[in-house]
Chain A
C-alpha cells in the first residue's frame, strides 16, 4: 500500500541552526501539506502546496519557514533559524484531490531544538 515517508524520524538541532525535513508523498498525489503537533497540543496546519507553489499557509508559517519540491518525488520543509518553540512533531501529508478528501500522513519527524 502506498504511503507517505518522512526522514529523518528524529532530528536534534541547536537553536539558530537551519533544518530541512524531508518527505516523499504518495506518487500520484498532487497536493502536499505540512502539519505540526507540539507535545500535548493539537495537530496544526502549516502550509499546503500545489503545482509547485504554496496555495495556503497559516500564521505559524512565517518567514523562517519555506517549502520546496526540488524534484518529482521529494517535498521539503526548511526552517532557517530554529527556535526552542519549533520543537514539535512535523507531519507531511498528501492527497490526490484538494478538497473534501482524506489526506494521508507520514509517520512524522520529531524535531528537538536545544
Chain B
C-alpha cells in the first residue's frame, strides 16, 4: 500500500538547470509534507516542508509546491549544483486512524546533477 509515491526512481539534470522532483500521495488525511535528502551511508537530512494550508514554500534554491486537489507535490531546485546529487525522499504525515504524525516515506528519486 503505497500512500506516498515517487514514480521516477532517477533524474539526471545539467548543472545550472532546474531539477523537478515529483511526489504523489493517496491519503487525503495527510496535512504536512517534507522533503529529505540522503547521501549514501548517511541518514536522511531534512530539506524543506510545507503545510497543507499552503501551496508553496521557498527556501533559497529549494521550492516545494503542493497541489491538494491533485494530491501532488513537487520539489524544485534551481539552479541545480553537482552537490545536490543525492536521493530525495518525499514524506508525509497527519493525524488519522490513530496515527500520531509519524512520517510515511516514498521510495525516493536519485538525482544526478552533471557538471
Q: Within 8 Å of chain A (Cβ to Cβ): is B70?
A: no
Q: How far is the CB of B88 from chain A (nearest CB, A)?
A: 12
**How many residues of B are counted as interface, with CB atoms below 8 angstroms from the partner's CB atoms?**
27
Q: What A residues does B105 contact at CB under 8 A?
A: 35, 42-44
Consensus secondary structure, chain B interface: loop
Residues of B within 8 A of A (CB): 31-32, 34, 36, 41-46, 49, 51, 89, 91, 93, 95, 98-108
**Is the pair B103, A99 in contact by a Cβ cutoff of 8 Å?**
no
Q: What A residues does B95 contact at CB under 8 A?
A: 99
Q: Within 8 Å of chain B (Cβ to Cβ): is A100?
A: yes
Q: What B residues does A99 contact at CB under 8 A?
A: 32, 93, 95, 100-101
Identity of the chain B residue whose Cβ is nearest the Cβ of A98 in the assembled complex:
B101
Q: Mark A85-112, 1 if CB is under 8 A from B, else 0.
A: 0000001010000111111111110000
**Is the pair A4, B102 in contact by a Cβ cutoff of 8 Å?**
no
**Is the pair A102, B46 in contact by a Cβ cutoff of 8 Å?**
yes
Q: What B residues does A42 contact at CB under 8 A?
A: 89, 105-108
**Is the pair B43, A108 in contact by a Cβ cutoff of 8 Å?**
yes
Cα A60 to Cα B104 with chains together (Å): 14
Q: Within 8 Å of chain B (Cβ to Cβ): is A41?
A: yes
- Can you offer 28 A-B residue contacts whose CB atoms are under 8 A? A4-B43, A33-B102, A35-B105, A41-B107, A42-B89, A42-B105, A42-B106, A42-B107, A45-B103, A45-B104, A48-B100, A55-B100, A56-B98, A56-B99, A56-B100, A91-B43, A98-B100, A98-B101, A99-B32, A99-B101, A100-B93, A101-B49, A103-B46, A103-B103, A104-B46, A105-B44, A105-B45, A108-B42
Residues of A within 8 A of B (CB): 4, 6, 33, 35, 41-45, 48, 55-56, 91, 93, 98-108
**Is the pair A102, B34 in contact by a Cβ cutoff of 8 Å?**
yes
- Known interface pairs A6-B43, A100-B101; 14 further A-B residue pairs with C-beta atoms within 8 A, sorted by A's residue number: A42-B89, A42-B106, A43-B89, A43-B91, A43-B103, A45-B104, A55-B100, A91-B44, A100-B51, A104-B46, A105-B36, A106-B43, A107-B42, A108-B42
Q: What B residues does A48 contact at CB under 8 A?
A: 100, 102
